[in-house]
Structure 1
Amino acid sequence: MTVTITAFDWVPDFAKGQVRDLRVRWALEEVSRPYHVRYLSQGEQKAPPHRALQPFGQVPTLEEGDLKLFESGAIVLHVAEGQGTLLPADAGGRARAVEWVFAALNTVEPPIMDLSYVDLFEADKPWSKPRRPAVEERIRGRLKEVARRLGDADWLDGDFSAGDLMMVAVLRIIEDDPLLAEHPTLVAYVARGTDRPAFRRALAAQMAGFTGTPPAGW
């Protein structure tokens, strides 16, 4: 059955390689699942046809027959189900992989995204610069905890799983920031994830899709 996902045909340079459809592309590549991409120009994501698929006007979405999904974590877990590569076969291992997907999205990503608001989206606001030290400390705490759990292992719990895919995708947001460099084991962890052939294919595909033009006034 054909899988169709949505992605943007243009984003600012700082967002290229970070838009969340990359996570879904990566999962699909890991399980060798072909997919089609429906590209949206900026503004289309807020129009009624896309809102019917994604009520918050974001990407990605996935359509597979009658099934329509939004939210990258939910889509990655759906892709992983029953494929035998991104989720362990045993119930305990599967539950722990799912646990790490949620940890990446709900515990680690929020403070990292706060840094994006401080440095990019709200950089011109008077409250942004004074907030950065507190945001940095929250990120340091989370990175320390992930590094402690990872230890000297290659992956968070046994073999590479959907949990690692999502955690690497989140940590990549700050891969060039000194905050991540404070934890060499996490730098190496991200490098292992992004060196996977499936990730490289997914990233190349996302980058090749940015063929649109900036919206008026950009």
Structure 2
Amino acid sequence: MTITITTFERSPDGGKGLARDMRVRWALEEVGQPYGIRLVSFSAMKEPAHLGFHPFGQIPTYEEGDLALFETGAIILHIGERHAGLLPKDAKSRARAITWMFAAVNTVEPPILELVTAKILEADKPWSKERLPLVQDRIRNRLDQLSARLGNADWLDGPFSAGDLMMVHVLLRLRPSGILGEFPNLSAYVARGEARPAYKRAFAAQLAINDPSHDVGG
């Protein structure tokens, strides 16, 4: 059965790899599974046809036969459980990799998303200037902890896993802020993720959709 994922018709970041379909693309590339895409506009995401796949009107979704999934963590866990390459065979190592997947989206990502909100959606609020340093400090606190745990290792727990895939993509959102650059070992960790051939293929595929020469109606 063909796998189909939904992605932005035009990504807000212009195809720089920050949209969440990038995580699913990368995971599928890592396990060598082909997939198709269905482009969705911002207005179409809120219409009944898409809400049937994603009740919160977001992307990506994952469709395979009569199976429809949403939430990148759930999608990547499903991919990792069905195909070799993202989750270790050893039960304890596998459990730890899944733990890191949850840590990426539940512990590290929330303050990073808060920074995006503070800089873009709340920039015109009278209290914005006072709040921004507090948000940045919360991020630095999380990165201090993550940096200490990673140390000089290449990956979070032995070989590369779905936990690293999720964490690298979460950290990528910080690069424009300059905060990631304050942590050399985390910057190098992200660079190792970006250097993986599967990441490069996924990035190129997402970028191609956002190329001005790409005809979204074709």
Question: Match of 1:145, as an amino acid?
Answer: Q
The residue aligned with 2:101 is 101
Matches of 1:155 and 1:148 in 2, distance apart? 13
Runs of 4 or more, structure 1, over 4 Å off, are: none
Q: CA deviation at 1:56?
A: 0.2
Supply the RMSD in Å over aligned alpha carbons: 1.4
Q: Give 1:82's aligned amino acid.
A: R
Q: Is the 8 A contact 1:105 1:166 kept in 2?
A: yes
Pick closer, same or farther for the CA change 1:188–1:204 going to 2, 3 Å.
same
1:47–1:212 CA distance, 2 compared to 1 (3 A):
farther
State the SS of the aligned residue for 1:124.
coil
Paired position in structure 2 for 1:161: 161
Partner of 1:176: 176
8 Å Cα contact 2:115-2:136 kept in structure 1: yes
Alignment of 1:10-49 (within 5 A): 10-13=10-13, 16-49=16-49
Q: Distance in 2 between matches of 1:199 and 1:15?
A: 13
CA 1:13–1:89 in structure 2 vs 1: closer, same or farther (change >3 Å)?
A: closer
1:63 aligns with 2:63: yes
The answer for the alignment partner of 1:52 in structure 2 is: 52
**Cα pair 1:112 1:139 within 8 Å, conserved:** yes
1:216 maps to none
Tell me how far 1:212 sits from its aligned partner: 6.7
| Partner of residue 84, structure 1 | 84
* Structure 1: runs of 5+ lacking an equivalent: 214-218
The offset of 1:120, in angstroms, is 1.7
Alignment length, in residue pairs? 213
Structure 1 position 72, deviation (Å): 0.7
Q: Which amino acid aligns with 1:18?
A: L
Paired residue type of 2:170: V
Q: CA deviation at 1:44?
A: 0.3
Deviation at 1:176, TM superposition (A): 3.4
C-alpha separation in 1, matches of 2:204 and 2:15: 14
Q: TM-score, normalised by structure 1?
A: 0.94
Deviation at 1:14, TM superposition (A): 6.2
For the residue of structure 2 that corresponds to 1:38, the secondary structure is: strand
Deviation at 1:177, TM superposition (A): 2.7
CA distance in structure 2 between the partners assigned to 1:193 and 1:11 by the alignment:
21
Which one is further off, 175-184 or 39-48? 175-184
For residue 173 of structure 2, give the secondary structure of its aligned residue in structure 1. Answer: helix
Contact 1:4-1:37 at 8 Å conserved across structures: yes
- CA 1:14–1:39 in structure 2 vs 1: closer, same or farther (change >3 Å)? closer
